[in-house]
Amino acid sequence: MTDFSLIETLRYEPDAGFVRLKLHLARLKRSARRLGFAGADRAQAELHATVQGATGPLRVRLTLDRNGAIAVTTAPFTPLAGDTVWRVRFAETRLSSEDKLLRVKTTRRGVYEAARAEYPASEIDEVLLLNEKGDVCEGTITSIFLDDGSGTLKTPPIACGLLAGVLRTELICQRRARVARLSLGDLAEGQLYVGNSLRGLIRAKLGV
């Protein structure tokens, strides 16, 4: 399949610049190299040009297509309050651990849109997915983390069929998280979190 673009969604703060910029650019370049997409080396310049003169926090979305065309859009961004708790549920829709494109952030989002559509947005903040084996994978827009009291968060391995999230990568590199397969039963034994680079780590409450 070639009818998709690569995506990076970043947070921009006027005083600090792009949050986790190096990790976002590294993922974009790695994905572009793996899939044969041109133009990733121009992404940083395009990002900086787009936010010139910005005076408030922004959600910045960059896409890169196979031919090297880059598009950057922005929208005002309001950070979540520190005590935010998201309501989450698991979807009937399943991911495939054999689908290696799930490891890359792209505009091919049919499976995530199907999962999100299973619940009203007014009732659920995020929808989580399992793979065909019943392994916990990820949310439609977040990585999953479990605090089981060991002092290090657990997060599912890429091999289960999920995205190498930028926040996930940072927490693993900082040794604040480690890779471990998780089951639904495991989630009942600790505090669940979801998160991404835009919003950070968010406490989550799993509904039934």
Instruction: Kindly list the distances between the CA atom of residue 123 and the CA atoms of 70, 86, 87, 118, 191, in Å, as whole numbers in the listed order.
Output: 35, 10, 8, 11, 20
End-to-end CA distance of the chain: 36
DSSP 8-state secondary structure symbol assigned to residue 125: S
What CATH number does domain 6-76 carry, 3.30.470.10, 3.90.950.20, 3.40.30.10, 3.40.50.720? Answer: 3.30.470.10
What letter does residue 106 receive in the DSSP assignment?
A: B
Q: Contact, 76 vs 59, CB < 8 A? A: yes
pLDDT of residue 41: 96
CB-CB neighbours of 88 under 10 Å: 22
pLDDT in tens, 35-82: 999 999 999 999 999 999 999 999 999 999 999 999 999 999 999 999
CATH architecture of 85-206: Alpha-Beta Barrel (3.20)
User: Identical fold at 6-76 and 85-206?
Assistant: no
Pairing between strand 85-95 and 70-76?
unpaired
pLDDT tens digits along 105-121 = 999 999 999 999 999 99
pLDDT at 2: 62
Global confidence as pTM: 0.94
Cα gap 191→145, rounded to integer Å: 9
Lowest mean pLDDT among 16-20, 39-43, 99-103, 153-157: 99-103
What percentage of the chain reaches a pLDDT higher than 70? 99
11 touches 60 (CB < 8 A): yes
Strands 200-206 and 191-196: antiparallel
Query: What is the Cα gyration radius of the chain?
Result: 17
Nearest to 37 by CA among 10, 55, 62, 73: 62
Q: What average pLDDT score do residues 139-153 get?
A: 97
Token pair in block for residue 190: 């600790």
For the chain, what are the domain ranges? 6-76, 85-206
Nearest CA-CA partner of 158 in 93, 201, 97: 97
